[in-house]
A and B are shown apart, each in its own frame.
Chain A
Amino acid sequence: MIWNREMETLGRASLARLQRERLADLVARVHGRVPFYRKKLEAAGIKPAAVKDLADITGLPFTGKDELRETYPYGLLAVEPGKIVEIHTSSGTTGKPVVDAYTQSDVDLWSEVMARTLAMVGATAGDVIQNAYGYGLFTGGLGVHYGARRIGANVIPISGGNTARQIAILRDFGSTILACTPSYSLYLAEVGREEGMDFSKLPLRAGVFGAEPWSENMRKEIEEKLRLKAIDIYGLTEIIGPGVASECERQDMLHVFEDHFYPEIIDPASGRVLGDGEKGELIITTLTKEGTPLLRYRTRDVTFLDRTPCACGRTSVRMHRIIGRTDDMLIIRGVNVFPSEVEHVLLHVEGVEPHYQIVVERRDKLDCLEVRVEMTDALFSDEVKTLEAKEREIEAKLRSALLVHARVKLVEPKSIPRSEGKAKRIVDRRQL
């Protein structure tokens, strides 16, 4: 189901025209009202009137997360403080929190893009949406809430945690759509099973999952255990919260709501804009937001864009599910490598468990990548040739996924150090 047929299936030329107008308006607004941006634009020698084409966006300065922290709490406001109706912030676990201040028009926009998101799994006024994202400063809870209200669905604002109560509500209120993080959905499935709950007997049919990275394998597991269709949704506090992009029912990459959030992909090292299909850092410009609009915000999330039409009929550009973070990225002989890609390959090799470590060394001025994989009972053979063949098989699969050669070394089980359950994935020994 398409929530806003007019905007979501707009022809590419009309969409580009709309984006161009909105971009020009945005640049004029931030230049006129946000001293931080005026300074940045002037330093870059950009006059708002000169931004006429969509292509002019590549000349605009980026906005970084650190700049958001430096302007905490109200430094990026583009409206009178009295026009702000709601504030959300990030958790601030890695420094000062980043602030998103919403005007009424921003809350309406948020409701619109979240209604689009929920409609991706066919949500209507008849649905019961169990919203297990946290309510509060975190954007997840209220984002889904506003979308559900816009649709007219029955939203149960249970918020995060309290698993026993989640299970009771799933059973007693007949929830049809579950909204939470993917890992929490698996936890719910586990606790539900222990309590003898048969998910196939519940009216639950869809899940909108986001706010953390997950994988296709996890999707399979969630769909099997909870007996529902799981879609990946994407967003971040700085931009609006959830509602930036979402998979449709085809589960084939996430439609970016680009009439409001304009995406670009850049090489994180050089800042150069990359073409469709090329992996790099996702950049988002908030075309219509009033309270705290952002120019070319560096998300640090890594993905790529695809402009081929989706069979669902929506015309928007799609982005691949988040592949990694720029902070985790390794550059090996000029190729960007992400630990998540290595993990993805290993998950598809029979007998291998995703216990691995990536070791990078520089030998004779060349970067050498070694992937250590823990031996398992299923993998072990008493014949050298079988084990060596396994190493070669994994090497070949890594090579085709990473586009760079990685030497595979089988190591003893539990020999890769684990800290707080999370293994230390990367050892970079390069002395530069």
Chain B
Amino acid sequence: MQIQQISVFLENKPGRLAHVAEVLRDNKINIRALTIADTSDFGILRMIVNKPEAALDVLRHAGFTVKQNVLLGVEIEDREGVLFDIMHLCDVSDLNVEYTYSFVEQSSNKAILFLRFEDPEKAIEVFRAKGYKLLTDEEARKL
């Protein structure tokens, strides 16, 4: 029930993100969603792509430090208040969110919220019990 995310270590200097994008373009890898966590020294680029294994491979080959790990993708309605519903649920269920970012579908009024939890197993139980649809890895690649 968890989906693959690629994260890349980037030094905080011009041209680094462009280089990642170039490598992905040259290998025909499409980015579905991305976020960057940054400090004054470095950044961590996290993204959902259509071909995570290939992305890992080509970025490593290009000399980047890359990691693959898993996230929860929760399907939500694209309207006001939904983020509060999710965060409130996390709060009352004592789930600690490490970070989150989102993807909005063009063809429907659905959106996907990607969440990284300290305890992903517990998070899966909580969301399922409330009837949320969790994206499979297969579905995430086809976004």
Interface residue ranges, A against B (CB under 8 Å)? 375-377, 379-384, 387-388, 409-415
Contacts and interface: CB of A to CB of B under 8 A. Distances in A.
Given A383-B98, A412-B10, A377 B67 contact: yes
B65 interface: yes
Given A382-B5, A388-B39, A414 B63 contact: yes
B132 interface: no
Contacts of A411: 11, 42
Contact of B65 (A376, A383, A388): A376
A128 B67 CA distance: 52
Given A382-B7, A383-B98, A410 B69 contact: no
B103 interface: no
Of listed B16, B42, B46, B64, residue having the most chain A CB within 10 A: B42
A380 B37 contact: no
A334 to B, nearest CB: 27
B44 interface: yes
B125 interface: no
A382 B44 contact: yes
Interface string B46-65: 10000000000000000111
A382 B117 CA distance: 12
Nearest to B6: A382
B44 A377 contact: no
B46 to A, nearest CB: 6
Interface of A is mostly: loop
Interface of B: 5, 7, 9-11, 16, 37, 39, 41-42, 44, 46, 63-67, 69, 98-99, 116
Contacts of B63: 412-414
A413 B5 CA distance: 21
Contacts of B39: 384, 387-388
A382 B69 contact: yes
B98 to A, nearest CB: 6
A218 to B, nearest CB: 27
A379 B7 CA distance: 13
B64 A412 contact: yes
A381 B37 contact: no
A416 to B, nearest CB: 11
Given A413-B63, A413-B65, A380 B9 contact: yes
Nearest to B40: A409
B67 A381 contact: yes
Of listed A376, A382, A387, A411, residue having the most chain B CB within 10 A: A382
Contacts of B16: 412
12 contacts: A375-B65, A376-B65, A379-B65, A382-B44, A383-B44, A383-B99, A388-B39, A410-B9, A410-B41, A410-B42, A411-B11, A413-B64
A388 B5 CA distance: 21
Given A412-B65, A414-B63, A384 B10 contact: no
